[in-house]
Amino acid sequence: MYGELRSTGKTRSCTRKARNNNGSIRSRPVIPEITRKNMSSYSEAVSTARDYYNSEDADNFYFHVWGGEDIHIGLYESPQEPIAEASRRTVETMAERVAGHLSAADAKLIDLGSGYGGAARLLAGRYGCQVLALNVSEAENARHRQMNRETGLAERIEVVDGNFEDIPDGNARFDVAWSQDAILHSGNRARVLSEIDRVLKPGGELVFTDPMQADDCPDGVLAPALARLHLPSLGSFAFYGDQARSLGWEEVGVVEMTGQLVAHYVRVAEELRARRSGLSELVSEAYVERMLKGLGNWIEAGRKGYLTWGIMHFCKPA
Ligand SMILES: C[S@@+](CC[C@H](N)C(=O)[O-])C[C@H]1O[C@@H](n2cnc3c(N)ncnc32)[C@H](O)[C@@H]1O
């Protein structure tokens, strides 16, 4: 493993409730007309993320090259491991942390920035929980709904087009909030966390990952890396820890695994180079060029210790 432990499984001071195929679709499914219905309220950062993930290049790249079901950083046991296997391990590792909550009768989970729904299907299928999968990209959501139908999980997973800065649901509704590599896209991460606090039940838990800047990252050095995703800034372990404290959450565990971020981007770049010639009908050459350059910037910034990544797990007191 490339992982390095920052702190793990601190004794839980938070009162927990006792409750304890990817289809080989070459082209995109028919995407219902991408409506403008909620768009007027979307901030610039949200619209930027939406446009990015809706674009045919990005959708085809993430679906066919990055991993298909799971489009987040993987946990690699060896450097050449298939991206999909390592990515699934991230979901499994996070799931173990909240398994008690998810096994309870009527457990409800919200996945913020749910992509193609790999985690939602694993969690709903394994634990029988109800999942609200909230995601701003209608193109991804169309593929997600299709895969849910194909795997018989459509009843358990509600896929909602929307923005996690303004969660379209009521207060104290969910036992678990889950997010993988999505909150970095927000222009107002403090607001995302306070929305999560609002929709979590007392005693509920948040488990999430996010590519971040290191707590001691020098100013300005991340500009080339941020350009790949059109991001003005990133969160950090210190930022999320401070926000959690200010919301009164207890830290259940924070695991820093920056080596996995580097390993993952190296694997994605290798895979893209190896498959490049066969992708011409799916992804434009210009996009591939930009992506390879962008991945190179993320690998370099990770190796220099400017970027970081890991699993964060907090509990809202009962
Ligand atoms: C790197 S992908 C990760 C997807 C998924 N969590 C996974 O791990 O496979 C980032 C996701 O965040 C979503 N996203 C970005 N900004 C969002 C927002 N403001 N509200 C909801 N989803 C958002 C994108 O549409 C995309 O699906």
Residue boundaries of the structural domains of the chain: 39-315
Task: Note the pTM of the prediction, 2 decimals.
Answer: 0.91
Query: Among the atoms of ligand 1, which is closest to the Cα of residue 53?
Result: 25
Residues 185-197, buried b or exposed e (16+ Cβ, 10 A)?
A: bbbebbebbebbb
User: CB burial class (10 A; 0-12, 13-18, 19+) of residue 222?
Assistant: buried
**Spacing, Cα 179 to ligand 1 middle (Å):** 8
Q: Is 181 in the pocket of ligand 1 (CB under 6 A)?
A: yes
Q: Each residue of 265-280: pLDDT tens digit?
A: 999 999 999 999 989 8
pLDDT the model gives residue 67: 76
Q: Which CATH class is domain 39-315?
A: alpha beta
Residues 20-34, buried b or exposed e (16+ Cβ, 10 A)?
A: eeeeeeeebeebeeb
Q: Each residue of 184-211: pLDDT tens digit?
A: 999 999 999 999 999 999 999 999 999 9
Residues in the chain, pLDDT under 70:
1-40
Query: Among the atoms of ligand 1, which is closest to the Cα of residue 117?
Result: 9
Residue 213 forms beta bridges with which residues? 307
Mean pLDDT of the chain: 89
Query: Among the atoms of ligand 1, which is closest to the Cα of residue 69?
Result: 9
